[in-house]
Amino acid sequence: MNLALKVNQNELLEILLNVAPIRPVFIWGAPGIGKSALVEKFANEIGLPCVSLLGSQLAPEDIIGIPQIKGETSEFLPPKMIARKEPYVLFLDELNACSQEVQKAFYSLIHERRIGEYHLPQGSVVIGAGNRQQDSAIVKTMSSALINRMFHVELKVNVNQWISWAYENNIHKWVIDYITERPDHLFSEPPKTEEPYSTPRSWHMLSDALKECHAGEVVNGESKDIDSEFLKAIVYGCVSSSHAGMFIAYTKQLSNKHMLNDIIKGDMRWPDKPEDRDVLYFLSQSFRGKLVTELPEDKTKMSKDAQFLTHRAKALIKDLSVISFELAQMVVTNDDEHKLPDWFMLEIVRDLPRLVQTPAA
């Protein structure tokens, strides 16, 4: 399902607080973007325990229970995990990954909050979640009857909210600083092939691995080194390969974390040694990001810092083109989501026309 409107983490929490107590909510979203964590946060906010069931691992009897003979009749006894006396949040994760038989078992639970003769305690909340068809995950078609029993919302990633969460949850400093520098790398759409890709969850995994091997910890006033090959292994094992390469380049220039600012001020030059090419690529990408973020759409509204950045930018792009024409072109090439201001591009066309020339068809 693709909803016309997507919400961020804070907006979803607000929806859960206002809608979930009265109607079952289904959260759509790509794997690893924090659906489960938000449901747990919601449960904490309203002071209820959260019980999670994984739809892809359930059989119908795991929901409706098993029959027990009582006298001349029988009744179904629901599982102990569900049949509780106090209200709670029932989280049906990967609901659209379960079989049609299991989906049928959920009908009364979702619509009427009951299983057979057992009713969820007054005040209980039912929330479902699942991945989208395009996510290359285990997804089965949900019946129209089941879809129509729930309120639907789709979660999107918000970088600023994730960074705030990362600080609160002690995510490794390298990861926070890198995502702050490259917010577009927090999430990438799942690839068609079987390989790691970047999500908030995979960056969290990388953070755990970095903390476990004490990467970057200060011992006796010095930052602890980590073997470069081992670092590559854990980074490439967690996130998209293109992002992994950039992250490795970022760690290489940690000894001078203000390198880009020093280059802009004129205190340093672009690194031009062959062995520093990955660092140069990272700095070039960061430089473009800085231009996109800090140069205003209206040239007449520039701050003094933006004026200085504009003054230095063309000279730096020209210097970069001497080392790598391709990277200089990358800095000034616009894409659909991240565009340089039109007035700046006109100045580039005027002063550095070769960089923006396109080959004849």
Task: Name, in order, each residue with C-beta under 8 angstroms of 286's C-beta and a sequence gap of 6 or more.
Answer: 181, 182, 260
Write down the pLDDT at residue 57.
72
pLDDT of 219 = 62
Q: How far apart are CA 238 and CA 201, in angstroms?
A: 9
Question: Mean of the per-residue pLDDT values for the chain?
Answer: 85
What single letter denotes the amino acid at residue 171? I
Query: Is pLDDT above 60 for 158?
Result: yes
Confidence band (pLDDT; 50, 70, 90) for 24?
very high
Whether the Cβ atoms of residue 115 and residue 90 lie closer than 8 Å to each other:
no
Q: Which sequence spans correspond to the domains of the chain? A: 6-156, 158-256, 258-361
The Cα–Cα gap between 322 and 169 comes to: 43
What are residue 304's DSSP bridge partners?
A: none
Decide: 31 and 190 in contact? Cβ < 8 Å.
Answer: yes
Given a cut of 50, is residue 9 above it in pLDDT? Answer: yes
Where does the pLDDT of residue 259 fall: very low under 50, low under 70, confident under 90, or very high at 90 and above? confident
The domain defined by 6-156 folds into Rossmann fold (3.40.50)
The three-state DSSP-derived secondary structure of 67-92 is EEEECCEEEEECCCCCCCCCCCEEEE
Compute the distance between CA of residue 158 and CA of residue 161 in angstroms, rounded to an integer. 6
Which has more confidence, 73 or 168?
Answer: 168
Looking at residues 227-251, what average pLDDT do you find? 91
> Distance between CA atoms of 24 and 113, rounded to whole angstroms?
9
Using pLDDT thresholds of 50, 70 and 90, give the confidence band for residue 148: confident
Task: Round to whole Å and give the CA distance between 28 and 329.
Answer: 38
Per-residue confidence band for 361, with pLDDT thresholds at 50, 70 and 90 = very low
Task: Please name the residue ranges forming H helices in 295-357.
Answer: 304-323, 325-332, 342-351, 353-356
- Is 0.75 topped by the overall pTM? no
Phi/psi of residue 157, each to 5°? Answer: -85, 135
Residues of the chain with pLDDT > 70: what percent?
Answer: 92
